[in-house]
Amino acid sequence: MSPESETSTGISRVGVVGGGIMGSGIAEVCAKSGLDVVLVEVDPAAAERAHERIRASLKHAVDRGKLEPATAASADDAIDCTDDFELLRDRDLVVEAVVENKEAKVEVFSRLAGLVESRDAIFASNTSSIPIVELATAAGERSDRVLGLHFFNPVPVLKLVEVIPSLLTDERVVERAKLFVIEQLGKEPIVAPDRAGFTVNALLVPYLLSAIRMFEQGLASAEDIDMGMVNGCAHPLGPLALSDMIGLDTVMSVAETLYAEHREQLFAPPPLLQRLVAAGLLGRKTGRGLYNY
């Protein structure tokens, strides 16, 4: 971390709440950038799984020649995975990355507002779709410190971060967050509107849902749908394979949030998606979804 980036953002200690795929990825990129990272999970076992996930990702990057072994070791040392929420007290920035559920996220922001000591601390959400203003109000008088920082999976690879201010967010917080993304993480921010789905998912999710409907109606096989978009439109991954990688439960949660706000049919989850989620067939992470793994 350069002295210039520390001066311009005031961020050197980062907290992450939630150690799933996204939370672990966010913790990893912060640690590789020279930041002191505390990742909080619900219990010691979950915290250890998160740390194992990060270590596996770091090893994979070293094995592929994308990361120096010394940098990987330093990043590992910089991360404290714990179940002690109190360790977030001294953080300059806390990123919430828990399950895509409004009530769970509201609880996190309410706790952070009463715990974190620095009045300049930024509270960010990695939500895929929930309006930031609905989370900011949970922070009470610190609602002006809340914004969205939406990373994309896999976090260590993809450069984009959506920066999403709400109507309550202080403009100085937005500027600090953008500088943090650019100068300290080496990623590329876009400022997205505080509406369900923001920019990327408001465009992406209807496309995924359309592909699922096409498959559900028997208009084309899953393989042909995906091959068509990969070989015909130069997409790196077809929409059905991408849905499985994201997680069908996440795709449906985002779709439901979009539909609740806009009431447009293109956002409505198709019956096949609903059935797969109800059956616990969520894609890659469960070994079966639109494809078998």
Q: What is the CATH number of the domain that holds 258?
A: 1.10.1040.10
13 and 151: one domain?
yes
Containing 42, the helix (H) or strand (E) segment is none
Tell me if 145 is assigned to some domain.
Answer: yes
pLDDT, position 106 = 97
Tell me if 13 is assigned to some domain.
Answer: yes
238 and 153: one domain?
no
157 and 242: one domain?
no
pLDDT, position 153 = 87
Interacting residues of 169 by C-beta distance below 8 A, sequence separation 6+: 132, 136, 144, 145, 146, 147
171 and 226: one domain?
no
237 and 257: one domain?
yes
18 and 158: one domain?
yes
Tell me if 292 is assigned to some domain.
Answer: no
Measured CA to CA, the distance from residue 249 to residue 286 in angstroms comes to: 11
Counting every residue written for the chain, the total comes to 293
pLDDT, position 276 = 98
220 and 151: one domain?
no
Catalytic residue list: 128, 150, 162, 201
pLDDT, position 231 = 98
Range of the domain at 13: 3-191
pLDDT, position 73 = 97
Measured CA to CA, the distance from residue 281 to residue 262 in angstroms comes to: 27
pTM: 0.88
Residue 64 maps to which CATH number?
3.40.50.720
φ and ψ of 177, to 5 deg:
-65, -40
173 and 226: one domain?
no
pLDDT, position 229 = 98
206 and 239: one domain?
yes
19 and 151: one domain?
yes
118 and 75: one domain?
yes
User: Which residues in the chain come in under a pLDDT of 70?
Assistant: 1-7
Q: Of 141, 162, 191, which residue sits at a domain end?
A: 191
pLDDT, position 128 = 86
Q: Is the CB of residue 10 less than 8 Å from the CB of residue 176?
A: yes
Q: Of 166, 191, 216, which residue sits at a domain end?
A: 191
Tell me if 291 is assigned to some domain.
Answer: no
Tell me if 293 is assigned to some domain.
Answer: no
Q: Of 165, 191, 217, which residue sits at a domain end?
A: 191
Tally of domains within the chain = 2
Q: Residue 64 is which amino acid?
A: R
Mean pLDDT of all residues belonging to the chain: 95
30 and 159: one domain?
yes
